[in-house]
Amino acid sequence: MKSREVWETITYGREEAKRRERVRKRRSYLFFRKLAKLFQERNLEGLLLEIYEEIDRKHGWGSVTNSKYAYESLTLLLKDVGVLGDE
């Protein structure tokens, strides 16, 4: 058992500790954890690209054309704020 599991089992009980471990294994939890890390590192490019890619993986843009437009918008934004240089 990890120290966090032990601490949560003592503090919240066995069922709640198990529930928390299940939540930590979810893709959504892992996605938000990755975003939090990028945010803490002040990695704007990585943060926005990760959000774009997650939406794209779930076909959230609706079409390949809309996905390309969204990526083009993201790239221009990153250039406008000085994260990417003009190529």
* pLDDT bucket at 1, cuts 50 / 70 / 90: low
Tens digits of per-residue pLDDT, 29-71? 888 898 888 888 888 999 999 999 999 999 999 999 999 999 9
Q: Which residues of 2-20 are buried (b: 16+ CB within 10 A; e: fewer)?
A: eeeeeebbeeeeeeebeee
CA atoms of 12 and 51, how far apart (whole Å): 33
Question: Are the C-beta atoms of residues 64 and 25 closer than 8 Å to each other?
Answer: no
> What is the average per-residue pLDDT within 13-37?
89
Domains in the chain: boundaries: 1-41, 43-87
